[in-house]
Amino acid sequence: MKKKYIVLFLPWVFSPASMAQSYWPTSSFPAPNWHFQVQSSALLERTYQTHHYFQFQSSYYSNRQSHHDAGADFARSTRSYITPRRDTRRHQVDLNDAAVQFQRANAFYYGRGQQKDEVKAAIWYERAAQQEHILAQRKLGFIYEHGIGVTPDYQQAMYWYKAAACQWDDNAQYKVGWLFMEGLGVQQSYSLAYRWFLQAAAQGEMNAQYYLGWFYEQGYGVESDQEEAIYWYEQAAEQGFQPAIDRLDIIW
């Protein structure tokens, strides 16, 4: 009872938050409902702020009616310290975050919520890619391959495709293999193309599965093997890849 007496009759000793916390004894009682305790603390805090807000209103109009302009001005100046302010920090966006940079790049690339700007999109994709954001790396490879917002550059395309491929992005692995197959940005190499196609195909990338079947059928970068060719064509065909379906029709 002594503890409750202090809380009820000496409220100025405690802050509103500590009042709610001190209400709960530390022993001889079941564990408190912490959710209710937090709600109580918030309610006391609002009550405390509202009480002082009305104190301010009373002070301001009383001073004004008594022609004490200096007192009224002082009361007004203290309002900013009494009235609760909205915390806007949680609404701020961290533009150094790779995921945020990638989303911003997509907004410029597709014109989502703002005017489409491929140059700015490329800039933001590169910022995210430099932080090893896999999708940004792959997209940047595509941008350099096709010259979207940048000057076409197959070497840069290979660089960024390979960066994503080394993080096991299956589509990027396929694109690295394709550039080796075509000799774009690198010296043509069917054996290296085969290796990258194999990695991507093993992860279910249907383009790589199709080209792996083609390599086995034609003997590019690997010994010719019709059974292996059919196997990989079937893998791609099961995903509805029409060129693989057409090749199976020809072989059979």
Q: What share of the chain is helix, strand, coil (3-state, %, to 5)?
A: 70, 0, 30
| CA neighbor of 218 nearest in space, from 181, 180, 176, 174 | 181
- Say what the pTM is: 0.64
Same domain, residue pair 46 and 159: no
119 and 50 inside one domain: no
Mean pLDDT of the chain: 78
Asked if residue 102 and residue 69 are part of one domain, the reply reads no
Looking at 85, 117, 148, which one is the last position of a domain? 85
Burial 88-127 (b: 16+ CB within 10 A, else e): eeeeeeeeeebeebbebbbbbbeeeeeeeeeebbbbbbbb
DSSP state of 31: P
228 and 103 together in one domain: yes
214 and 130 belong to one structural domain: yes
End residue of a domain, out of 58, 85, 112: 85
Mean pLDDT (whole number) for 122-149: 98
Q: Which residues contact 251 (CB under 8 A, 6 or more apart)?
A: 217, 226, 229, 230, 233
Nearest to 221 by CA among 178, 192, 184: 192
What tokens does 48 get? 């405390």
- CATH code of the domain containing 207: 1.25.40.10
Percent over 90 (pLDDT), the chain: 62
Whether residue 90 lies inside any domain: the answer is no
Domain with 122, as residue range(s), is 98-251
Boundary residue ending a domain (20, 52, 85): 85
Kindly state whether residues 208 and 161 are assigned to the same domain. yes
Query: Do 146 and 234 belong together in one domain?
Result: yes
Averaged over 85-89, what is the pLDDT?
51
72, 159: one domain: no
| Amino acid 133: pLDDT | 99
Only one residue has tokens 């064509």, namely 233
Distance separating alpha carbons of residues 160 and 101, to the nearest angstrom: 17
CA distances from 192 to 37, 106, 228, 233 (A): 65, 32, 18, 20
Q: How far apart are CA 122 and CA 139, in angstroms?
A: 9
Q: What does the pLDDT read at residue 19? A: 38
8-28: pLDDT as tens digits: 333 333 343 443 343 333 333
Question: Domain count of the chain?
Answer: 2
Could you tell me if residue 91 is inside a domain?
A: no
